[in-house]
Amino acid sequence: MYFFFRRKAVDFFSPQQKSLITNAIQQAETNTSGEIRVFIESKCAYVNAIDRAKELFEQLNMYHTADRNAVLVYIAIKHRQLAIWADEGIHQQLGSSFWQQQVNTMIYHFNSNDYAEGIASIVTDIGTALTQHFPYDKVNDVNELPNDIVFGK
Q: pLDDT, tens digit, for every residue of 60-101?
A: 999 999 889 999 999 999 898 999 999 998 998 999 999 999
Helices 15-28 & 115-133 angle (0-180, nearest 10): 10
Model confidence over 6-58: pLDDT tens digits?
444 447 899 999 999 999 999 999 999 999 999 999 998 887 999 999 999 99
DSSP assigned state of 86:
E
The CA distance from 89 to 147, in Å, is 20
Decide yes or no: CATH 3.40.50.300 for domain 7-151.
no
For 41, other C-beta atoms within 10 Å of its C-beta total 26
For residues 65 and 52, what is the distance between their CA atoms, to the nearest angstrom? 20
Specify the pTM: 0.90
At residue 47, the pLDDT reads 79
- Strand-pair category, 149-151 with 81-86: unpaired
